[in-house]
Amino acid sequence: MNQQAIASQKTRAEQETENEANRLREQIDDALAAVISRSPDEFDSLQSAADRIERAARDLADALRQLAQQRQTPEL
């Protein structure tokens, strides 16, 4: 089965959870780049990265809870 067929079988909650997980991964990668860069505005850069990771993690947690609730509810 190809990727497109698999993607079309995902529920909205599954797709949203996957999107939020990918966004968190991207934020972590950006934070690691900020750690390595040691730029002059390091404090602001690291603070911003922390804020973005915090928001992305919260969004992923919400998406996971929504998915869990959807899977707990029996389909009619």
Which pLDDT band holds residue 39 (cuts at 50, 70, 90)?
Answer: confident
How much is the pTM? Answer: 0.79
Chain centroid to CA 58: 9
DSSP characters for 39-70? -TTHHHHHHHHHHHHHHHHHHHHHHHHHHHHH
Q: Is the pLDDT of residue 8 over 70?
A: no
Give 40's pLDDT tier (boundaries 50, 70, 90): confident
Phi, psi of 24 (to 5 degrees): -65, -40
Average pLDDT in the 60-73 region?
Answer: 95
Domain boundaries, the chain: 3-72
Q: Average the pLDDT over 12-32 and give the result.
A: 97
